[in-house]
Amino acid sequence: MNTQIPGDARELVAGVEDLFTLPEMYLRIREAVDDSGSSIADVAEIISGDPVITARLLRFANSAFFGLPSQVDTISRAVNILGTQLVHDVVLATSVSGSCAMATDALDVRQFWSSSAYCAVLSRLLAQRCHVLDSERVFLEGLLRDIGHLVMYQQIPVPIAEAQRQAISSGAELYQVERALIGYDYGQVGQELMALWNLPPSLGEVARYHVEPASSENCPLETAIVHIAHHIAIAARSGSNVADATLPISADAWTVTGLSEEVIDPVRIEADSSVTEAQQIFIEAA
């Protein structure tokens, strides 16, 4: 753990390069998915070599999240039904939660992944209302939008705890307090971590700009969706009555998505009814 605050987000992430690593099995799946010469059978064979990932993927495929009409009992069937890209994203999501498990008194990791899963489910539901075809990718973006905080709590727990305290006492946005106190915020850290992992740039852009969605140049719709989900999730976590709360949602986000505040209550109710299984999967992975 650093005794001084690194000068920028990239330096902070460089300090945990050996600690926050994705498993070799995931890297093999990514290589296979990116290789036009690989087949569905190749991807299924790689996954089948890891019983833990196999169990998680089958559980995910059979969850209410997908609502498939019949049970998926083999990896080959899961890959055939879901497709290699979606399987890749599911494996990535569970790999990240497993790779970023850590022991610290400063952060409740189980609560962290529970809240992240809730934001992910909200993001997917909002994406569906925006007619986004790849709503599962938005689920992944919602899940990972807060991952920079894991690095910050590992490396600079005292400053980040102070930023949390100041944000609560002042009512200011956390990312703004982090920038003032530390010099950068958790979204910037998250983007640097995903760059270190060579993940798709869109994941890093959403992580960085979901606090300021108008700044997203390459994926403004996904960023706006996660921004809205993020604030609903924060309000729900704090115990606020989300329907009555005044959420600091950017007007730009409503404009870009074409949604309005009227969507908040129904999407929260739908998320509440379906989120438990997703939360359990990611908490167990951590």
Query: pLDDT averaged over consecutive 10-residue blocks of the chain (286 residues)?
Result: 78 88 89 91 92 87 80 90 88 81 72 92 96 92 95 92 94 95 97 94 97 97 98 83 73 96 93 84 72
> Angle between the 75-82 and 51-61 helix axes, to the nearest 10 degrees?
50
pLDDT on residue 239: 67
Kind plus residue range of the DSSP H or E element containing 214:
none
Does domain 1-17+102-286 fall into CATH 1.10.357.10? no
pLDDT on residue 57: 87
pLDDT on residue 242: 60
Instruction: Choose among 127, 125, 116, 93: nearest CA to 222.
Output: 127
Environment class of 60 (CB within 10 Å of its CB; exposed 0-12, middle 13-18, buried 19+): buried
pTM of the model: 0.90
Please give the Cα distance from 253 to 261 (Å, whole number). Answer: 11
pLDDT on residue 2: 47
Q: Where are the domains of the chain?
A: 1-17+102-286, 21-99
Please give the Cα distance from 102 to 9 (Å, whole number). Answer: 20
How far is C-alpha 148 from the chain's CA centre?
Answer: 10
